[in-house]
Amino acid sequence: MADCTIRIKRNGSAMVTGSFEVLDVDGNPFAIEGEAYICRCGQSQTKPFCDGAHKTCGFESAPTVEA
């Protein structure tokens, strides 16, 4: 598996770029090449992927990394 980067978007999804797999609850893989947006608000109708629901549900989150 190649490297990937996860970027947490302010008040939105987690943008994942690179080459990676998303596994469902049963361990079934979904391979991704390029980018995917993962839901963080819990309101998406296409979980685990983002459908933009965070824009209308009032989701607020902007975590930062502390060294």
In a domain, 67, yes or no: no
DSSP at 9: P
The pLDDT tens digits for 1-53 are 458 999 999 999 999 999 999 999 999 999 999 999 999 999 999 999 999 99
* Domain region containing 43: 4-55
Predicted confidence at residue 15, as pLDDT, reads 97
In a domain, 41, yes or no: yes
Predicted confidence at residue 37, as pLDDT, reads 98
Kindly tell me if the per-residue pLDDT of 56 is higher than 60.
yes
Banded model confidence at residue 67, pLDDT cuts 50, 70, 90: confident
Predicted confidence at residue 1, as pLDDT, reads 44
Measured between alpha carbons, how far is 22 from 39 in angstroms, rounded to an integer? 13
In a domain, 62, yes or no: no
Residues recorded for the chain = 67
User: What is the tally of structural domains in the chain?
Assistant: 1
> SS3 of 34, please?
strand
